[in-house]
A and B are shown apart, each in its own frame.
Chain A
């Protein structure tokens, strides 16, 4: 079974290939150097803080912006030279799914169906059912809720049976239930062989959803790899609550653990909020904990709590960008 899977993985084709993409607007380089590939059947996360150049990059993927340098190739066609071929393989939602609010959902789908080859009425009803919108499809979009508009946007993106689906911040404006559903939906599409490109500034989202990730900051890709690969290289942290604190800290140092002074620079908000102000944050392998605890106890230092922090993408991200603010 596992060997079969291996074979499939190696045979996967590149659907999207981005090569040293650069964009200058005025005198500023918004995108400095972005390269990555997205293969069929995978969910690819594009991660970065607001203003890192994510949206500009996405717009270059779908020919809304012309790159200053570099190439975007979709299914073998260069987007900026042959948009009419390349874009036939792409379904996209760039930022919010904006549609004609004075038309009904169905009429919107019809509008865009006329702009694509091989999309007929049966395909329209198919995607309508797929996003579970058949009940309200003949109402004007004006009357839709944000979630329904999102679903209509996805229906529009799927209309042309794309090989590549590009979603820009798809979880914006969705409630937790909606996010959960969307995640399942995206996974299903990928399992059917579609390549899905998802941008987000929410790291936990990406970690749960994506097979591979590119991390972008200040217009540059800092790392590309599977979530596991990326996290592997990142350090583990152990948080100690010791009494008396200063002696405990000294002993930890002697034992070879490095003390982290600016914990908020490397740990995510949830963890920071949970630990007490008296805690000592160390960067060390969790395996060493068992050796250190007896030493502490032997010196009459009481160990109130030990917390192991498994590496997350967010930590990795904070380390790479030196604590750059993310929302």
Chain B
């Protein structure tokens, strides 16, 4: 089994897929970091060095917009919650947007969890089985004296290893590069988590501060979980679809549909059982309202786990029974 995993790892590395992922990160992260730098510079010009004035201004702006008729109800709810959170930070004298490598990484992960990282993972996962079929090497692979499920399992394990590596690399690259812009500090800065959302009210009773490094770790864990589930789904599509291009398109469409649905499906509550709208696990940490009523961290974890488990069953059943006709 170890030898099979070694085989798959060699193939993965020699296909240079993983380097592409690293390259994408190395190009995009400095871009985001630079944008962030410009933004904080312009804020500093406006508010000086006192972050309290900045937070106060944000609260006032959001409060003003609540009175406007042109703002949809949905957004108003978001903003009410946001205002209460900002006030909480202000009361406890903590800057929610303290610039720093760690803060940037935290912010970046928050935004990357539901689309960017799944896309990267899809890039390495989509062709792991289908490319063997496109190239015809699957015939060589399956005529060895090894059971098919072992071949597939070795591929799965390799994929999960690379997913973990991708998530870790994202965090590390993000921290290292943003540190160049904002400095490498901020590990012990407190971040508040545990906001209980109740309609548009925020229940502060369970809120507690955690040091930012711990928060980052929690985020990474959740993103890793999302990554694993997305990888397993991509894996299933890769088993089911013969062409690599088709399998990439299918996964991409599902992910993008997810981000669109999250923005507009709040009325269609059964959409919460779709895996794509459950990818934003880090939002639960930050206390951002879930896209659909009734979604909690536990719920999303359960939905993702069920999707992942079903995909695994389908992948193994199909792969071990399938006739290789082409």
Contacts and interface: CB of A to CB of B under 8 A. Distances in A.
B139 A64 contact: yes
Contacts of B64: none
Interface residues of A, number: 34
Interface string A93-127: 01111111111000100011011110000000000
Contacts of B141: 115
A98 B136 contact: yes
A90 interface: yes
Interface stretch (B20-28, B38-46, B79-87, B317-325): B317-325
B4 interface: yes
B7 interface: yes
Interface stretch (B55-63, B144-152, B205-213): B144-152
Contact of A65 (B16, B144, B324): B324
Contacts of A112: 140, 144
A62 interface: yes
Contact of A115 (B7, B15, B321): B7
A83 B140 contact: no
Contacts of A90: 143
Contact of A87 (B3, B4, B6, B144): B144
A8 B171 CA distance: 69
Contact of B15 (A64, A95, A102): A102
A175 to B, nearest CB: 23
A114 B4 contact: yes
A99 B140 CA distance: 8
A114 B11 CA distance: 13
A25 B146 CA distance: 25
B136 A83 contact: no
Nearest to A117: B145
Given A59-B324, A111-B7, A98 B143 contact: no
A6 B6 CA distance: 49
Interface in B119-147: 135-137, 139-147
Contacts of B70: none
A95 B147 CA distance: 22
Contact of B143 (A66, A94, A100): A94
A132 to B, nearest CB: 21
The residue in B10, B16, B136, B323 that gathers the most chain A C-beta atoms within 10 A of its C-beta is B323
Interface residues of B, number: 26
Contacts of A97: 140
A103 B9 CA distance: 13
B138 to A, nearest CB: 8
Contacts of B139: 64, 94-95, 98
Given A98-B136, A102-B15, A84 B147 contact: yes
A115 B136 CA distance: 17
Interface in A43-92: 59, 62-66, 83-88, 90, 92
Contacts of B136: 95-96, 98
B14 interface: yes
Nearest to A100: B137
B86 to A, nearest CB: 52
The residue in B3, B145, B323 that gathers the most chain A C-beta atoms within 10 A of its C-beta is B145
Nearest to B147: A84
Interface in A116-153: 116-117
A116 B148 CA distance: 14
B15 A66 contact: no
Contacts of B137: 98-100
Given A98-B137, A102-B14, 13 more contacts: A25-B323, A25-B325, A63-B142, A64-B143, A65-B323, A65-B324, A87-B144, A100-B137, A103-B14, A114-B3, A114-B4, A114-B7, A115-B144
26 contacts: A59-B323, A59-B324, A63-B143, A64-B139, A64-B142, A64-B143, A65-B325, A84-B147, A87-B144, A94-B143, A95-B136, A96-B136, A97-B140, A98-B139, A99-B137, A100-B14, A102-B14, A102-B16, A103-B10, A103-B14, A107-B14, A111-B10, A111-B11, A114-B4, A115-B3, A115-B4
